[in-house]
Amino acid sequence: MNIFVCIKQVPDTETKITPNGDGTYIETSSIKWIMNPYDEFAVEQALLTKQANSGSTVTVVRVGGVKDTEALRTALAMGADDAILVESDDNLDSFMTAKALKGAIEKSGKSADVIFTGKQAIDDDCLQVPQLLAGMLNIPSVSVVVGCEEASGAFTLKREVEGGALEVYEVKSPALIACNKGLNTPRYASLPGIMKAKRKPLAQHSLADVGVSDADRRVKYSNFQLPPEKPAGKKFEAMDEAVQASVVAEVVGLLRNEAKVI
Amino acid sequence: MVNFDLSSEQKEIKEMAMKFAKNEMMPKAGEFDESGKMPMDILTKAWELGLVNTCIPPEFGGTGFSTLDSMIITEALAYGCLGMNTTLMANDLALLPIALGGNDEQKKRFLTPFTESYKIASFCLTEPGNGSDAAGLKTTIKEDGDHYVINGQKMWITNAGYADLFVIYCTTDPALKHKGISCIVLDDKNVAGLEIGAKEKKMGHRSSDTRAVTFTNVRIPKENLIGNLGDGWNLAKMTLDHSRPMVAASAVGGAQCALDHAVKYAKERVQFNKPIAGHQAIQLMVADMAMKVEASRLLVYKAAWLLDQGKSNTELASYAKAFAADKFMEVATDAVQIFGGYGYSSEYPVEKIMRDAKLIQIYEGTSQIQRLVIAKEIFSRS
């Protein structure tokens, strides 16, 4: 089985995000990059699927800058067989990213039997690439997947919906599966795994190599700004019984006129 | 030229080991400190991921890490829990004499099983009457046919209650001092005459297992002797050149953890209408702590780097051990101070770290012994 995993590298969740000087993107120089947490579930599910199907390979694909390749190396150290990096320092939109991933998968010479992705990236939260990629490849896709069983190329997928209920889907390969938290427990990259990862193949392509140009851009990012600072909370002293009635009236007045919640 | 940058692989190793420390060790550190039990699940998981026994060469199933790599791993594991790290690090301490001085047959017989499943080893040097004066040890070794016979008592032996293998320092004649010392491996924990004492109750490192070990006419096959009779002192010194920077690395990990806790708390704790991080009294303390951690780390890296370059590091190993241990104690004490009353409570993590810090100034050569080693090196130069 040819298993593909698409991963994104995102700022560490503890990173303090600030817009860059001209507001066209975020300041990236001081960011510590990690693999998108939802993509870790995708890598783990790919490795589990490989373990259950001898002779399978796991190829991990990423679109992004070359400078920090931590996410790809982590996936290789966890046990993926090879990696493809489509280089781009630009801030791509979802359509361009999906098209680049499609191009990279096709360029690998292997037809994808299954593609695993995270359900969303935690940086821009677009939730578009998995569905766009499946659409471009004309294969079915299921997202928010929390249960995945495979038997001879057919997947039984459980998907979370409103109210904690589960929808169950039967999907035949080839298919795209977008993974959610709860699907599995991602393994650690072992130290021998980290050493072995050095010798695993990593192909590099430009955007042009995979057929993507700026003409594919659907969304132009015009401005990044921080949300307005929250004003400090108000404290009311009402220990003294004599003032309690007037304090309550004041609080109600503020809730009605200032906060406009009642 | 000087290059302070870790390789991309070392960064990944650090990242992975820190992730393990934060996700697996830290959440359980308090619980096992309180119960004093060995966290076998966590230790086994660390072994599965290749974080243990880093001294085993690749020819014998090991990972082939440099000394510097193993410092990076130890620092991360100590960040997670000093006690658990002592258990893991004690394996390397015990296996190092075999890796450094054993023949190929011994390495295959003793080291390779440690790469096949999680096994535990004990380094038996210290005795009830001989701590800093290690060369004065009194456990004896006598030839008897194709065996050696061991008699004596060892004290403060880490891992003793769980060990599959004991590396024992003993002497043909206590009067010969360091020239009479030999190093032999006991790989049969059921041998007649081996008695493991009760678990010691300790101030810190409470999840690590520390006991007395008594040998009464314990017979060990001759082929278990590392090197020749009388090679033991040199083997112990070579081992300490590796293990002292490692202990210093654990001090750096513990100190970094105490510092990180203190910084986080200082940003949250409000006094006089602002976070205490905004008060200069706290800022000056935190700045001192950060300097101490980084200076300690650089000494550790240099002591390890010298070994990786095949150069003598005895003096630097003692610099690193004494400095990092003493600074760790200071940093941990200051972390408790910054936490104030909460720091004194075991509900908060820095109380344990302060108790754990104290041992680093004592084991693997006290801070005072390190200074004597340093002075000896200085005055022995012509």
Task: Dump pLDDT digits (tens) for B188-215.
Answer: 999 999 999 999 999 999 999 999 999 9
Same-domain pairing of B354 and B326:
yes
Contact assessment for residue A161 and residue A167, using Cβ atoms and an 8 Å cutoff: yes
Question: What average pLDDT does chain B have?
Answer: 96
Nearest to A212 by CA among A114, A111, A132: A132
Same-domain pairing of B191 and B240:
no
Same-domain pairing of B187 and B296:
no
Question: Would you say residue B69 lies in a domain?
Answer: yes
Q: Domain ends where: B119, B151, B168?
A: B119
Beta bridge partners of B130: B127
> Do the chains contact at A70 and B15, CB–CB below 8 Å?
yes
Quote the pLDDT of residue A85: 96
Given a cut of 80, whether residue B1 has pLDDT beyond it is no
> Do the chains contact at A74 and B50, CB–CB below 8 Å?
no
The pair of three-digit structure tokens given for residue B107, joined into one six-digit string:
């390495």
CATH of the domain at B319: 1.20.140.10
Does residue A188 belong to the interface with chain B, where contact is any CB pair within 8 Å? yes
CA distance B50 to chain A (A): 5
Same-domain pairing of B190 and B285:
no
φ and ψ at residue B132, rounded to 5 degrees? -65, -35
Same-domain pairing of B207 and B240:
no
Question: Would you say residue B3 lies in a domain?
Answer: no
Rounded Cα distance, B295 and B286, in Å: 14
Does residue A192 belong to the interface with chain B, where contact is any CB pair within 8 Å? yes
- Work out the end-to-end distance of chain B between its first and last CA atoms, rounded to an integer number of angstroms: 27
Active site residue B268: no
Question: Would you say residue B2 lies in a domain?
Answer: no
Q: Domain ends where: B229, B251, B266?
A: B229
Quote the pLDDT of residue A203: 95
- The verdict on whether omega for the bond into residue A192 sits within 30 degrees of 0, i.e. cis, is no
Same-domain pairing of B38 and B110:
yes
Same-domain pairing of B215 and B237:
no
Could you give the 3-state DSSP secondary structure of residue A165?
coil
Same-domain pairing of B362 and B299:
yes
> Do the chains contact at A189 and B12, CB–CB below 8 Å?
yes
CA distance A235 to chain B (A): 14
Quote the pLDDT of residue A222: 86
Same-domain pairing of B293 and B175:
no
Same-domain pairing of B89 and B134:
no
B70: domain range?
A: 8-119
Q: Considering its fold, how many domains does chain B have in total?
A: 3
Same-domain pairing of B250 and B111:
no
Q: Domain ends where: B197, B229, B261?
A: B229
Given a cut of 90, whether residue A234 has pLDDT beyond it is no
CATH of the domain at B215: 2.40.110.10
Catalytic: which of B75, B315, B351, B364?
B364
Same-domain pairing of B239 and B375:
yes
Average pLDDT (A91-111) is 95
Classify the phi-psi angles of B163: left when phi > 0, otherwise alpha if psi is within -120 to 50, otherwise beta: beta
> Do the chains contact at A191 and B63, CB–CB below 8 Å?
yes
Task: Place B229 in a pLDDT band, splitting at 50, 70 and 90.
Answer: very high
- Determine the residue among A14, A16, A190, A191 to mutate to test chain B binding: the one whose Cβ has the most chain B Cβ atoms within 10 Å: A191
Q: Maximum CA pair distance of chain B?
A: 79
Q: Higher pLDDT residue, A22 or A85?
A: A85
CATH of the domain at B65: 1.10.540.10
- Determine the residue among B14, B48, B49 to mutate to test chain A binding: the one whose Cβ has the most chain A Cβ atoms within 10 Å: B49
Given a cut of 90, whether residue A242 has pLDDT beyond it is no
Question: Would you say residue B341 lies in a domain?
Answer: yes
> Do the chains contact at A191 and B51, CB–CB below 8 Å?
yes
pLDDT tens digits, one per residue of A37-84? 999 999 999 999 999 999 999 999 999 987 667 889 999 999 999 999
Contact assessment for residue B367 and residue B322, using Cβ atoms and an 8 Å cutoff: yes
CA distance A190 to chain B (A): 4
